[in-house]
Amino acid sequence: MTTMSSTPTTSGSHDKTVIGYPAQSSQVAAGYPAAPTAYPYAVQPPSYTRLYQRRVGPTGSRSGSSFFCRLIMAAAALFAILGVVFFITWLVLKPQLPEFRVDSASVSPLNLTGSELTATWNLTLLVRNPNTKLRIYYESVQASLVYGNGPDGLLLGTTTLAPLFQGKKNETRIRVGLSVVGEYVGEDVVTKISGERARGSVGFGVRVFAWVRFRTGSWWRSRQCLLRVYCDQVQIGFGTNNGSGSLTGQPGACEVDL
């Protein structure tokens, strides 16, 4: 009797697939995809260098930002110091606005025909600098004559005056000459002026505009400002025999504003 060997043959040992383990690529049946592995991709460790660059930024950005912040703080401190110095200087010097007053005025002649006006005005303005430590420089000075008071006054004419310099506690008289010939003012204005002249006096207004600057000398001067002067109720008295008139009474101080 023939005895059967219990030991498997060598040729069949490699053809069996152990249950529970993935098949090898050579053992996958044709037409079926290979089973994926448990870890198809290798997990990369986090890049700490990139995270640091995202938070801090490119190399040198932190130092650049610090320099910019210090520059802004230094500029703000400088402006604050200059503002304090300017304010203290302003308090010490105590700048005051100049004072204006119409010192004399005359009209010769004053002719009214239809809706036109012909007249020549000669005025003298008294300008006083009340400052004890500051000089005043006047540039681009213009003087105007209006009929009526306030901003609604009718402009009759404008003339340009020479620049003016005033020392400390100085008083200066400025002569203003202004003429209009056949100036159209309208029939209503001619009627009003004729009515006032018949009652003895006609009220006019004087306007002065100039760019001014206050100075102590060579070490301090203010910025240039527009000076506005309003002199209302300048009454010109007329006689009954001719068209000439002169200032009646003494007008008050003019309103001065910057």
Alpha-carbon Rg of the chain, whole angstroms? Answer: 49
Higher-confidence residue of 24 and 217: namely 217
**Which pLDDT does position 85 carry in this prediction?**
65
What is the average pLDDT score of the chain? 79
> For 55-83, how does the pLDDT look when each residue is reduced to its tens digit (9 = 90+)?
544 555 556 678 888 888 888 888 888 77
DSSP strands (E only) in 85-241: 99-113, 116-128, 135-147, 154-161, 164-166, 171-184, 201-215, 225-238
Q: Tokens 């912040």 belong to which residue?
A: 69
Q: How far is CA 162 from CA 6, 106, 175, 205, in A?
A: 137, 21, 10, 21
Reported pTM: 0.65
Least confident of 18-22, 140-144, 176-180, 231-235: 18-22
Q: Place 8 in a pLDDT band, splitting at 50, 70 and 90.
A: very low
Quick one: average pLDDT of 121-129?
A: 96
In 3-state terms, what secondary structure has residue 38? coil
Sequence spans of domains, the chain: 48-93, 99-257
Q: 64-68 — which CB contacts under 8 Å span 24+ positions?
A: none
127 contacts 174 by C-beta, under 8 angstroms:
yes
Mean pLDDT value of segment 108-113: 90
Non-local (6+) Cβ contacts of 101 within 8 A are 125, 126, 128, 231, 251, 252, 253, 254
User: Residues 223-245: pLDDT tens digits?
Assistant: 899 999 999 889 999 987 677 89
CA 218 to chain centre: 27
Please write the tens of the pLDDT for every residue from 149-207.
777 789 999 999 999 999 999 999 999 999 999 999 999 999 999 999 999 999 999 99
Question: Is the confidence at residue 28, as pLDDT, over 60?
Answer: no
Residue 230 backbone phi and psi in degrees, to 5: -125, 115
Mark out the alpha helices in the chain (DSSP H runs).
Answer: 48-56, 61-93, 187-199
Q: How far apart are CA 115 and CA 88, in angstroms?
A: 57
Q: How confident is the model at residue 7 (pLDDT cuts 50, 70, 90)?
A: very low
**CB under 8 Å, gap of 24 or more: what pairs does 138-141 form?**
138/163, 138/164, 138/165, 138/166, 138/210, 138/211, 138/212, 138/227, 139/163, 139/210, 139/211, 139/212, 139/213, 139/224, 140/210, 140/211, 141/208, 141/209, 141/210
The SS3 of residue 199 is helix
pLDDT of residue 147: 94
